[in-house]
């Protein structure tokens, strides 16, 4: 397990993306803006899991990232249906 400079750059980009999405989630003027921010944070988290799997050479993180992405998609569809039609 060695950290390259590119690993730090990727981690910095991911952290910046999460911070910007959290700001949009807190400041978003409408509920759909907040829902998109939450979905984007989940997508960035999936990318982080893939990056960690690559850094630590533990490929079980890739399986976890795949399951997390599927669950995030299902959650996003549920939120979109709720925002469109209500309960």
- The pLDDT tens digits for 29-84 are 998 899 999 999 999 999 999 988 988 888 898 999 999 999 999 999 999 899 88
Q: Is 58 helix (H, G, I), strand (E, B) or coil?
A: coil
86 has pLDDT over 70: yes
Q: Cα(27)–Cα(13) distance, rounded to whole angstroms?
A: 21
2 has pLDDT over 90: no
What confidence score (pLDDT) does residue 66 get? 95
17 band by pLDDT with thresholds 50, 70 and 90 = very high
């Amino acid at each position: 397990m060695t950290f390259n400079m590119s690993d730090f750059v990727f981690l910095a980009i991911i952290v910046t993306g999460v911070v910007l999405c959290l700001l949009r989630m807190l400041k978003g003027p409408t509920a759909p803006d907040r829902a998109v921010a939450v979905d984007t944070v989940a997508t960035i988290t999936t990318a982080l899991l893939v990056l960690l799997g690559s850094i630590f050479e533990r490929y079980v993180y890739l399986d976890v990232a795949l399951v997390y992405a599927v669950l995030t998609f299902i959650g996003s569809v549920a939120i979109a249906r709720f925002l469109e039609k209500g309960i």
